[in-house]
Amino acid sequence: MTSNDSQSYPLVDTAVGTRLLLGFIADPVAVQRRLPPRWQIAPLPAFEALGLPAESQPNLLLAFHHLLLDQDAQGQALTDSGSRFLVFDIPAHHPDTGEHGLVHFQMFTGGAIPGRFRDALPAQVTHDYHLVEESTSTRISEVYQVLTSAGGLIEVQVTSQRGLLLRQTARVPNFPLWAAADPGIVRVYQEDSVQELLRNDFTGFNRVQDLAFRVTEPALADLFDGQQRLVAIWGNPHYMRKVFSPTSEPAHREEEHDF
């Protein structure tokens, strides 16, 4: 897929929301086994923009989302997509095609199953957000808790002091994600977002005052084996996203889940 290809894709859905992102360096063997055949872990230019050089970039990305609005291409609300969810992505490239971006391999959601990337599992996702402004300072405490249908837990608690906010606006669709379950599914994002860097271990930048993270989900045990390193934290207090794709993937299947 070239950039010209993606710019010819039709609009399939849009979203407005907030998200918190954690970048880990995990066991490369465990990460690689979640990629489709021929795909390989690779540095991502978007991480370089955060001040992370190729050799210090995460190979595993957790993105906690809370959508305020989710709509189809005609502007109708997508009520089955789930407003809070957690996704797992791997920065990767395909050496034969030159395709380069994120490979989406897992999602936990209270919304539709199996999701547009065909990898969603049912979960109860809660999001707690507190903001306190005093004079010129802003203190934020945020908690995401994901209770999976397998009885596992994924939880992050972050307290930080707000720093510089940057606005990033893409003029064209420029950020592709492929489905690990079916690499024929590709969704290309065009975003207008507010970005806030909270922590970068490479440069020593750190606005985080308190942090707790734990995972007890059995399916993720090889990724979070105690040797993983959290190397970057950043957030989007606000983002607006347009999604373009050659096909419009429904988020649900016929049968319902009970979790």
* CATH number for the domain that contains residue 203: 2.40.400
139 belongs to a structural domain: no
d(CA 234, CA 228): 18
Average pLDDT on 216-245 reads 97
Sign, CA torsion 109/112/115/119: positive
195 belongs to a structural domain: yes
Please name every residue paired with 153 in a beta bridge, in sequence order, or none if there are none. Answer: 147
CB 206 within 8 A of CB 163: no
Q: Give the count of beta carbons closer than 10 Å to the beta carbon of residue 255.
A: 6
Average pLDDT on 101-113 reads 95
Give the domain range for residue 99. 3-121+171-208+221-244
User: Which residues are CB-contacts of 256 (< 8 A; sequence separation ≥ 6)?
Assistant: none
Please name every residue paired with 128 in a beta bridge, in sequence order, or none if there are none. Answer: 143
pLDDT of residue 18: 97
Average pLDDT on 146-173 reads 96
Whole-angstrom CA distances from 140 to 5, 137, 145, 164, 210 are 40, 10, 17, 14, 10
66 belongs to a structural domain: yes
213 belongs to a structural domain: no
What the block records as the tokens of 178 is 């492929």
pLDDT of residue 252: 67
Whether residue 219 has pLDDT greater than 80? yes
Whether residue 248 has pLDDT greater than 80? no
pLDDT of residue 79: 66
240 belongs to a structural domain: yes
Could you tell me where the beta strands, DSSP code E, fall in the chain? 11-25, 40-41, 60-72, 84-93, 100-109, 120-134, 137-148, 153-161, 166-169, 175-179, 186-200, 205-206, 208-215, 229-244
82 Rama sector, left if φ>0, alpha if ψ -120 to 50, beta otherwise:
left
Whether residue 245 has pLDDT greater than 90? yes
CB 230 within 8 A of CB 81: no
Confidence class for position 17, pLDDT limits 50, 70, 90: very high
Please name every residue paired with 236 in a beta bridge, in sequence order, or none if there are none. Answer: 19
Task: Provide the mean pLDDT of the chain.
Answer: 92
What stretch of H or E contains 225?
none
pLDDT of residue 253: 58
Q: How many domains does the chain have?
A: 1
Degrees, nearest 5: CA angle 243-239-158: 125
CB 248 within 8 A of CB 108: no
pLDDT of residue 81: 60
CB 87 within 8 A of CB 106: yes
Whose structure tokens read 């707000």? 162
24-75 pLDDT tens trace: 999 999 999 999 999 999 999 989 988 999 999 999 999 999 999 999 999 9
162 belongs to a structural domain: no
32 belongs to a structural domain: yes
d(CA 159, CA 162): 10
d(CA 97, CA 135): 53
160 belongs to a structural domain: no
d(CA 199, CA 206): 4
